[in-house]
C-alpha cells in the first residue's frame, strides 16, 4: 500500500546516481551522498561555506540548575570568518557529576530554558545532556543580513539562506561538545521544531558527527514531500520566508513535480544513522501524511546498509502508534503545531532503545 502511494508520486530516484547507475553499496552511497548534498545546496538551502579551521570556547557563566541535578554553563563560541571573528553563545546543561552523557543539541525559538517546547528537566532526568542554541543569537529570522550573515559573501542564486546559517552554527556547537568530557560525542542528536526542524535536518544531513537527526513538524522543505503536499507549498514558503533558502528555490514554486529532488533525499542523508520524524495529527500545514511518506521513501538508504528504515505495518500509522523498531523513528501525536513533552518522551524512548 505505501509503495503504491509512493509510485503514484513519481519521486526522483534516490538510489540512481547522476550517471544513471544504480546505487547498491555503502561505498556507492557515499558518492551519491555528495551528489544529493550538492543538489540540495544548489536548489534549496544554498551552499555552506567551509568550516573554520578551529573554534574557541569560553565558559562565561557556570551555575547549578534544577536544585542541583544539573550544571548549567553559558558558553561563547568564537571563530574566524572571511570578515573577522564572529561569536555566539549557547547553553549546556549536563547531569551533575556524570561524564560521557548522550546529548541533545536543541535549536530553540526562545532563549529561555526550560520553555514551552523544551522540557529541560525531564531531559536531564533521563540522563541526557542538553545543549541549547537560541537561533537568533546567530542571525535574525528575517531578511536582514545581520549577525553571522554579514561575515560571509553570498551568491544570490546559490548562496546559503538563514536555515543554512543556523545549521552551520549548530555544527560549531558540535565542535565544542566533542571536546567536553561530560558528553559522549558518539551519541549527540540534533533536534528542532518546525523551521528549526528543517534546520536540524539540513544540519544533520551535512554533519555526520550527529548520531541522530530529529525533526518535529518540519513540514514543507523539511520532512514532508513537496509532491502532492496538501499543506504548505513551495510557493507559500518562498513568498513568506525567501531568506530561509537560496535564490534558486523560488524557481520551483508551483513546479514541484519538475523538481530534480524531493524531501526524501534530505531525510536519506541521515542514513545510516538514526532519524526521527514526528508531527501533530491536526497540523495540516506541515502535512503529516507526506512526512510519513518521506520517511518511507528514504528507507532504502538504510536498507542499503543492511538496516531497517521505517519498520511497521504497511499503512500510515494513527496517533500514538510510534514506529520504533527500525532506524527511522516516527510518531503522530494528537493535536496541532507544537513541540510537546509527548514528542520529547517518544524521542528519548527511541534513543534509549537504540542506544544512539
Q: Which of 194, 199, 211, 216 binds ligand GTR (CB under 6 A)?
A: 194
Assess 232 for contact with ligand GTR (CB under 6 A): yes
Of the pair 189, 234, the CB lying nearest ligand GTR is at: 234
Nearest distance, CB of residue 254 and ligand GTR, angstroms:
16
CA distances from 60 to 1, 57, 74, 292 (A): 55, 9, 6, 42
Shortest CB 236 distance to ligand GTR, Å: 6
Q: How far is the CB of 298 from ligand GTR (least distance, A)?
A: 20
Least spacing, CB of residue 109 vs ligand GTR, in Å: 8
Cβ-Cβ contacts under 8 Å for 184 (sequence gap 6 or more): 100, 101, 102, 103
The number of CA neighbours under 13 Å toward the Cβ of 290 is 27
Smallest distance, Å, CB 279 to ligand GTR? 11
Q: Does 204 bind ligand GTR (CB under 6 A)?
A: no
The grid cell for 128 is 541526557
CA distance 149 to 55: 18
Sites for ligand GTR among residues 235-254 (CB under 6 A): 237
219 touches ligand GTR by CB under 6 A:
yes
**Cβ at position 219, least distance to ligand GTR in Å:** 5
Q: Which of 220, 234, 265, 323 binds ligand GTR (CB under 6 A)?
A: 220
Q: Rule CB under 6 A: say whether 269 interacts with ligand GTR.
A: no
- Cβ distance to ligand GTR smaller for residue 197 or 300: 197
Q: Which is nearer to ligand GTR, 183 or 213 (CB)?
A: 213
Distance between CA atoms of residues 87 and 77, nearest Å: 5
Residues in the chain: 356
**In this complex, which beta carbon is closest to ligand GTR, that of residue 29 or of residue 109?**
109
> Rounded to an integer, what distance in angstroms lies between the CA atom of residue 223 and that of residue 302?
16
CA–CA gap between residue 63 and residue 131 (Å, rounded): 15
Closest distance to ligand GTR from the beta carbon of 220 (Å): 5
Single residue of 195, 227, 273, 330 touching ligand GTR by CB under 6 A: 195
Which residue, 211 or 229, has its beta carbon nearer to ligand GTR? 229
Phi, psi of 339 (to 5 degrees): -110, 100
E runs forming strands in the chain: 56-65, 70-81, 84-95, 101-108, 129-134, 183-193, 212-216, 274-280, 328-333
Residue 5 buriedness (CB in 10 A; 0-12 / 13-18 / 19+): middle
Positions in the binding site for ligand GTR (CB under 6 A):
194-195, 219-220, 232, 237
Amino acid at each position: 500500500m505505501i509503495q503504491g502511494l509512493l509510485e503514484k508520486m513519481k519521486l526522483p530516484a534516490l538510489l540512481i546516481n547522476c550517471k544513471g547507475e544504480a546505487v547498491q553499496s555503502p561505498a556507492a552511497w557515499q558518492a551519491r551522498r555528495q551528489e544529493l548534498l550538492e543538489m540540495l545546496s544548489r536548489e534549496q538551502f544554498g551552499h555552506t561555506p567551509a568550516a573554520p579551521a578551529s573554534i574557541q570556547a569560553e565558559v562565561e557563566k557556570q551555575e547549578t540548575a534544577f536544585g542541583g541535578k544539573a550544571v548549567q554553563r553559558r558558553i561563547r563560541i568564537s571563530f574566524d570568518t572571511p570578515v573577522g571573528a564572529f561569536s555566539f553563545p549557547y547553553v549546556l546543561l549536563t547531569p551533575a557529576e556524570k561524564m560521557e552523557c548522550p546529548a541533545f543539541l536543541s535549536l530553540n525559538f526562545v532563549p529561555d530554558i526550560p520553555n514551552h517546547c523544551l522540557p529541560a528537566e525531564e531531559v536531564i532526568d533521563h540522563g541526557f545532556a542538553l545543549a541549547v542554541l537560541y537561533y537568533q543569537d546567530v542571525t535574525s529570522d528575517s531578511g536582514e543580513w545581520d549577525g553571522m550573515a554579514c561575515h560571509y559573501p553570498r551568491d544570490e542564486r546559490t548562496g546559503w539562506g538563514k536555515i543554512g546559517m543556523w545549521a552551520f552554527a549548530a555544527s560549531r556547537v558540535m565542535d565544542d561538545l566533542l571536546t567536553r568530557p561530560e558528553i559522549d560525542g558518539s551519541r549527540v542528536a540534533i533536534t528542532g521544531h518546525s523551521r528549526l526542524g528543517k534546520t536540524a535536518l539540513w544540519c544533520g544531513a551535512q554533519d555526520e558527527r550527529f548520531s541522530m537527526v530529529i525533526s518535529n513538524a518540519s513540514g514543507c522543505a523539511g520532512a514532508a514531500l513537496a509532491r502532492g503536499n496538501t499543506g504548505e507549498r513551495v510557493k507559500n514558503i518562498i513568498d513568506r520566508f525567501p531568506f530561509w533558502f537560496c535564490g534558486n528555490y523560488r524557481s520551483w514554486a508551483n513546479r514541484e513535480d519538475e523538481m530534480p529532488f524531493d524531501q526524501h533525499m534530505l531525510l536519506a542523508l541521515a542514513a545510516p544513522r538514526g532519524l526521527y520524524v514526528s508531527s501533530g495529527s491536526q497540523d495540516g500545514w506541515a502535512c503529516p501524511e507526506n512526512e510519513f511518506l518521506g520517511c518511507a521513501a528514504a528507507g532504502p538508504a538504510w536498507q542499503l546498509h543492511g538496516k531497517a528504515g521505517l519498520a511497521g505495518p504497511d499503512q500510515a500509522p494513527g496517533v500514538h502508534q510510534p514506529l520504533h523498531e527500525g532506524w527511522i523513528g516516527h510518531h503522530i501525536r494528537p493535536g496541532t503545531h507544537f513541540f510537546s513533552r509527548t514528542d520529547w518522551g517518544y524521542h528519548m524512548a527511541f534513543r534509549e532503545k537504540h542506544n544512539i
